[in-house]
Amino acid sequence: MKRLIFSLFIAVLAAGMSQAQNITRRYAWEGTLDGKIAIRLAIEVNSEGIVAGSILYPKAKKAAPILVVGSTYEGGMFYLSEYLADGRITGNMGFEIKGGLPVGEWTNPKTQKSYQFTSMRKIAFPNGFGGKLVPESPGNIGHEYGFMTYSEPYNDYMGGNFTFRAAGKNKVHFEACNAVRNIAEGESEAGRPAVLSGNHFVYRNVNECGYGFEAFFYPQFMVARSVTDGDTVGCFGMGASLEGVYIKTKK
């Protein structure tokens, strides 16, 4: 009887957490990359199409789950990157789910070598791999967020960052830069901070050039997405925007 009550409690707790995170789908698999590198991957998808979870390389010398974050897109494609605590990207994944299993590849951003998902099978969702999409409360938004990815043309790591400072209740001023393709820089106007609604804000007319973006905040990262059409990124370099996943590097 006690075991049954405990099981029901855990089920209700899990359901409550999923609802708080607006989780719409959960997946967990294990298998290999090119039949050589053992992996375990578990992800959750929320109602905004943001995807987060963990990847584990069980045979690594110091095996520990690594944060993965990305998005889903029309047509069922998933694009994720794995992030270290300093925001450095150590792998990129692109796949679709067929028959409940991921079909696609993992790519090393530095060597550009790709490995196919192979021998994948469904598993129970592992403890400690989920819970990345709990909405962050406005009072816990970090001071600095950033990411770095290797750029072959520059033979160096390129990236982006957001810096926030409080500007009143549920309000923040920001400075931002994304230099992966071309440099996109922007900041909130004096007297016009970003206004948070829960873990989200929309900020339009950055640099008074018409570009706008939205930001979603979670305990370990934030996601920035453009909300205006492609013409408005003309205030930056060609093809540049503030879009991306930024890891919380300073509370």
Rounded to two decimals, what is the model's pTM?
A: 0.90
Per-residue pLDDT of the chain (251 residues), as tens digits, is: 434 333 333 333 343 444 467 999 999 999 999 999 999 999 999 999 999 999 999 999 999 999 999 999 888 999 999 999 999 999 999 999 999 999 999 999 999 999 999 999 999 999 999 999 999 999 999 999 999 999 887 788 999 999 999 999 999 999 999 998 788 999 999 999 999 999 999 999 999 888 999 999 999 999 999 998 877 667 787 778 999 999 999 99
Residues in a beta bridge with 101: 98
